[in-house]
């Protein structure tokens, strides 16, 4: 079992860091993001978001720092709602940047059964992070659900009280499944958190049947 301390010194591409801040800006406004970055001790990004390139220079620690700061600013419930919304926006923005590279705009998706669509979009999401960042992800299929595993996670680092609270990742998965299914919603739940020390991945269960 890997200590989350081993995840220090790992990076996302600048493009993903930029998308994170643009997503937060969409739900908090520019002034809200500036206040968040000050509280999170990430002042270097105020009015200077990462460039729109694929160089791996956006540190894992930045994700957990601003997540913890959101909890301080808005409380657990408020932060949860903001991060879920930001995650949904992040998928939509990321689809425009990474979708063509992974064939996610393929019209053939429309003709596939819903379970196959879910499998494709979840694997494509995992492959995006695997290919372009130091985050390691994979998807397993089980009876009645998919399980999305993150085995190198940015949300556990520097968090004083680790727990299954990677809501931005959950929001991304919620929006991914909604997008590929034409707007239907699926149950997404975080099952485990490596920061708690009793598992080998931060895992999310995604139901195969829509909620409606």
More confident residue, 63 or 197: 63
Q: What is the mean pLDDT of residues 84-91?
A: 96
Distance CA 22, CA 18 (A): 6
Q: What is the mean pLDDT of residues 117-122?
A: 93
Distance CA 32, CA 74 (A): 11
- DSSP bridge partners of 189: 205
Of the given ranges (30-34, 82-86, 95-99, 124-128), which has the lowest mean pLDDT? 95-99
- pLDDT over 90 (residue 24): yes
Distance CA 210, CA 113 (A): 13
Sheet holding 186-190, edge to edge: 136-142, 145-152, 202-210, 186-190
Q: What is the mean pLDDT of residues 79-83?
A: 94
- pLDDT over 70 (residue 145): yes
Q: Phi and psi of 145, rounded to 5°?
A: -160, 165
Q: What is the mean pLDDT of residues 87-92?
A: 94
**Helix, coil or strand: residue 8:** coil
Tell how far CA 170 is from the center of its chain: 6
Q: With cut-offs at 50, 70 and 90, classify the pLDDT of residue 140.
A: very high
CB of 176 closer than 8 Å to CB of 86: no
C-beta atoms surrounding 189 within 10 Å: 13
- How confident is the prediction for the chain on average, in pLDDT? 89
Q: What is the mean pLDDT of residues 92-112?
A: 71
Q: What is the mean pLDDT of residues 119-126?
A: 93
pLDDT recorded at residue 1: 39
CB of 159 closer than 8 Å to CB of 67: yes
pLDDT recorded at residue 29: 95
* Residues 6 or more apart in contact with residue 37 via CB below 8 angstroms: 43, 45, 46, 66
Distance CA 79, CA 170 (A): 13
pLDDT tens for each residue of 32-69: 999 999 999 999 999 999 999 999 999 999 998 999 99
- pLDDT over 70 (residue 212): yes
pLDDT tens for each residue of 152-188: 888 887 677 767 889 999 999 999 999 988 899 999 9
CB of 148 closer than 8 Å to CB of 137: yes
For 49, how many CA atoms within 13 A lie in the half-sphere containing its CB? 16
Inter-axis angle of helices 114-132 and 167-180, nearest 10: 130
CB of 185 closer than 8 Å to CB of 211: yes
Could you give the domains of the chain? 2-209 (3.90.1520.10)
- pLDDT over 80 (residue 5): no
More confident residue, 7 or 23: 23
More confident residue, 120 or 106: 120
């Amino acid at each position: 079992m890997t200590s989350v301390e081993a995840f220090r010194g790992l990076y996302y591409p600048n493009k993903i860091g930029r998308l994170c801040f643009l997503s937060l800006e969409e739900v908090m406004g520019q002034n809200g993001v500036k206040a968040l970055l000050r509280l999170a001790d990430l002042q270097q990004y105020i009015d200077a978001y990462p460039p729109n390139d694929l160089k791996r220079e956006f540190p894992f620690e930045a994700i957990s720092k601003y997540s913890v700061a959101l909890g301080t600013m808005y409380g657990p419930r408020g932060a949860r709602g903001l991060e879920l919304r930001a995650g949904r926006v992040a998928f939509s923005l990321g689809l425009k940047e990474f979708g063509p590279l992974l064939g996610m705009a393929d019209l053939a998706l429309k003709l596939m059964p819903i379970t196959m669509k879910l499998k494709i979009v979840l694997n494509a999401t995992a492959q995006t992070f695997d290919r372009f960042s130091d985050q390691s992800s994979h998807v397993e299929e089980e009876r009645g659900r998919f399980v999305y595993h993150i085995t190198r996670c940015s949300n556990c680092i520097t968090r004083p009280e680790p727990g299954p609270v990677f809501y931005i990742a959950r929001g991304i998965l919620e929006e991914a499944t909604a997008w590929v299914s034409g707007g239907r919603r699926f149950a997404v739940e975080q099952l485990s958190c490596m920061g708690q020390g009793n598992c080998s991945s931060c895992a999310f269960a995604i139901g195969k049947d829509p909620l409606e």
